[in-house]
Amino acid sequence: MKFSCGTKDILQTIGIVGRAITGQQALPILNNILIQVEGKRCVLSATNLEFSIISHLDAEVENEGSITVPAKAIQNFAQYSTDDEVVFETSEDSQLKCFSKKSKTIIAGESTSEYPKISPIKKETQITINSKDLSDAIHNVAFASAKTTTRPVLSGVYMKVIKGDLYMVATDSYRLSEYKVPVETKGEVECIVPSRVLVEMMSVLGGKKIGDSKKKEDEKDSSDEKGYPVQMSLSPQQIEVVIGKTTLLSRLIDGAFPKYQQIIPEKHATSALLPLGEFLTTVKRMHYFAKESNNNLTFSLNTKDVSIQTQTTQAGKDEAQISVDVKGEKNKIALSSSYLLDFLSHISGDEVHMEITDKMHPAVFRVPDAPNFLHLIMPLRMSEEE
């Protein structure tokens, strides 16, 4: 195998596929990247057996072939090479020789025969979705999923298509995010995708055009703002997503997602439109005291303001009022400052809409700039003094 390519191009591609390599691999060879040269391109692949990424770049190919090498070793070479182009060549003893005008590096590799085969899925259902819509949905939903796998279905994002709209939902049973985006699809869609996979997918979506040596830095592309089509394919056990030159494959989570619609209040007694910047700053300040008492923040929705206070602890106490018009009856609820920070830090815009039923039902948050988004936070127990 012998080929040459742009240093930035291969570094970009290594960075993409390397996201499939976790810190604790079951097999040592899974710390490697598979390099395959065929035709006029170089294909890089990585897998942890649950999640795989395949991406390719253009190359000047002299001899086709393949090898696997440690991801850290080849990334180190490409990252610190000072030349624009590099040449790669394999030897009979599974070594990868890396040449540039000013350097020569030899990396000990392994035969591809020991590397797990990454097979394409049997495509039973296909979805076409706008890249910007997909990225926005992942950003606003994935953070609400469970961080542990005690209940596997809660560590993923539920996806279902209803009448041309894809609903993406995540919950850890204490909070919930739902985001709706329009899609084109063939066949029924209902699955649970690991949240980690979607987070990595968002990184690839954001970096699709980075590293294109043929594109000038000052050349603007309207597709950056409008997005571009992304193809998603499903089989009963796997999902495949094609983003430009990159393909991501992942196992789906088996199980039934909770019937979350049942916990979304159908109506509310009180609502307030809060300025996002002031709300976020206030919660950040009050979290210092709230974290001493189970992150408890008590909200009192009055006629002309929303009053927020922490419980009295050894660290002290904090109170604040946000002047806004409150619609409906006076109301109270206790919410987690930690969950509020997570939510408020993920949204953008000038305002956030808060809906309260009573102290026993979840608070519902909506963002005027994103009418297809809903976030819900379960209430905490209010102290006797409140």
Question: Whole-angstrom Cα distance, residue 360 to residue 67?
Answer: 60
- Amino acid code (one letter) for 367: V
- Amino acid code (one letter) for 233: S
| Paired tokens of 265 | 């209040």
| Paired tokens of 297 | 């923040």
- Does the domain formed by 2-114 have CATH 3.10.150.10? yes
Chain segment 43-95, per-residue pLDDT in tens? 999 999 999 999 999 999 999 999 999 999 999 999 999 999 999 999 988 99
* pLDDT above 90: residue 143: yes
- Contacts of 24 by beta carbon, 8 Å cutoff, 6+ apart: none
Mean pLDDT (whole number) for 218-238: 77
Give the pTM.
0.90
Assign domain 266-377 to its CATH architecture. Answer: Roll (3.10)
- Bridge partners, 151 (sequence order): none
Q: pLDDT at position 384, please?
A: 58
Count CB atoms within 10 A of the CB of residue 158: 23
Chain segment 172-211, per-residue pLDDT in tens? 999 999 999 999 997 788 999 999 999 999 989 886 533 3
CATH no. of 125-209+225-260: 3.10.150.10
Question: Whole-angstrom Cα distance, residue 77 to residue 100?
Answer: 10
| Paired tokens of 55 | 């991406």
Domain boundaries, the chain: 2-114, 125-209+225-260, 266-377
Q: Is the CB of residue 179 less than 8 Å from the CB of residue 137?
A: yes
Domain 2-114 shares a fold with domain 266-377: yes
